[in-house]
Structure 1
């Protein structure tokens, strides 16, 4: 009995050892197969998962190409001890040719992506900068440098108001709208020279920075402006620089600047009273002025006055103005005053009610602003004074139309030289002014020329400045 029991125990032990050995061997084999299977999927473009059950291998995930999948399956098939390799759930990415990924920037600054991404990792990187890019489908065939190209494309769209960037095979295409050449250059610079790609760039520049406008002036009709002006001025700024509340015309603006423009406009606003017309043409290269002097004014002298105020101006030309018909009337747009044509020139008639005090004040204010000068040592009028004489003629014409209104024109000298000679010179100069006013239509019987020599100084004759002030012409309407 004991022998039989011992034999049974021995058999059971041997069977248990066999079962344990079989189980232990199976576990060890499964682990070995799993390790080998994991090595077979190492280095794939996309994550692939392997699951080992017993000696069966199941493969899932994405394969970049059929070739890659076949390589992995072949590696799994070669594992010693494996039984079945199941790869039916593996998705092979479609082969895209030509491969395209595109970015678009809207007017509101938002970015959108279309096309394909080469991997989930690359797609996530793009989505960090372009919301919505995580929805791009994956596809095989992306050119080398896909990520760098898309990053450069996004940077190139940054300076543009709106635009699109496309990576199509080995070609980069950038198009859109830039506000100025600076943004255009920034976009091109961001795209740079990416190795291995051809670039096609088409950017429209809204404001190319080109100044080009014409300011025209006619004494009778005023100013008109057309073209592209610096935005620092605009229409209102041009008018303000000319000393006007408003001017006619329509303009566009540019970011570009034109140094010295404000001074040119200010000067032409001031000198308009000497001109019958002019055209100021401005470009990025500078300003050119072509004008015609008021009839009766010497064109060379007007040119000299403008050139002296501006300095050297290339392209400044002043011609003689056409003579108006005798007796014609108009409103001068520069001064807003009525003018009457007489003796081949325009005489400005001031717009105030004449009284003795008001007439004296107006005439003396005009000669204070720009004195009547004479050639040195003589009674010949300096041609630079003709504009002043024309304006004074209008004042005197208005202020002598009533029978009781008479003007005394006084000539004054400094104290240099002989007293008698100074007196004679002062009389001759007063008469020269009277003759000039007669030539401009003032009734001679309403004017008296008086010489005072050096007897009525208004400043110190010991200084040149004082002597210059004492050499003067006065106008007085005595009561």
Structure 2
């Protein structure tokens, strides 16, 4: 036997009459393999300890299609061979090395069992620490893996990371439905068990659930779904839903105050711009068998004052906080001097809204409720505005309003110089807008994100153009009409058309158009201008139409 090759490794040699046994600790896997070959041909028995690995780790990655690629280290050739017996296994990157963790085999058995239930994923072990990532093959596999990653983990191992996704949904959908008995039912998809539990807690003890797990939902799904549930609680019955592209809230308010509160919250959170649609019906009158309303306080008082700067200050009493927040939202006014006090007449909130909207059309004025009587005083900029305000209040409550609306003093115009041009009439101003706006509407230039009330960035030049066109008729009333095609539910389409019209109104206000001029109207799919059987026809029906008139 030559000693030149092995002299640096101090072999322990045991002699016998028939063979020679060498016990060696080799410095590396490559050297170990090279030393074994010659020894086998000499008739000796050779036992080589594998090189010890300081940072011992192993991983198994399941690729799409089922192939499992091993990497890292195996404690012996038998273990590597056992892995390689699986026809889907690739062990070419798996090296041999000593120093494996105590729970190596138990951990690999656990990890490979998990990978069998994943469409793709990765298991890794370093010391006694396990990590798992991937996506499940099916709903049942996801549930099984979720249970196994905690209950099936072998003793002695620590699960440091477990990010297993459920199967990806082709169309991620979710619905919370509130029935007339107050119970809420959850159906559709959630991203994981934690989301399911969060929504069950938000919905209440009587909630029924038929939820399944799926990935592919929006990043803010849980936050948005919880908001939908909270708004749903203000409805006597209704539905909050996500259809894969946008959120919708429909139903009937518990009370006028709750309806106003939802609308105020919708405005405050800018939900239309976030892809939400809203369609809340007017609350029906209470049934005769319901308990009588609380006694009306004869001294109940409320006022709203608008000064020459346009600021509106609210003071006095309002029966519910949602109503106060709504009035503050639509006026942008100061509400510090208002207290929440019961005892208002049953029609108080509706009359207050009508009065506040009338006050907003006046340059300055005062709305008040005292001793059971509503009053509006102030100054109108012109006779037409005065007539419009007066008509709206007379329609609301007949002769129940005390009205004192004067016309603003108009200074006598100085005699024009001979060369001065004659100012155009209001009719001429109106006519100047009609043709450009008709052309603008026909071009269908304002685009929205699919299924949502979110205006796309490429519509910015069109909105700038529209604001400039409206500046040619500064006194005209502007109707922003939203229309949809016939795809989907008609009520959802109606809500979407209203939300899109409101989004355009908000964009015009940002560009300096006076908000009192603007009215958002939604027609849903009820007024098509083409058929809904072709993509081109549907495109023409999805439109924003802008019209001007002298009256709202």
TM-score bracket for the superposition, by shorter chain length: 0.3 to 0.5
TM-score normalised by the chain length of structure 1 = 0.37
TM-score normalised by the chain length of structure 2 = 0.33
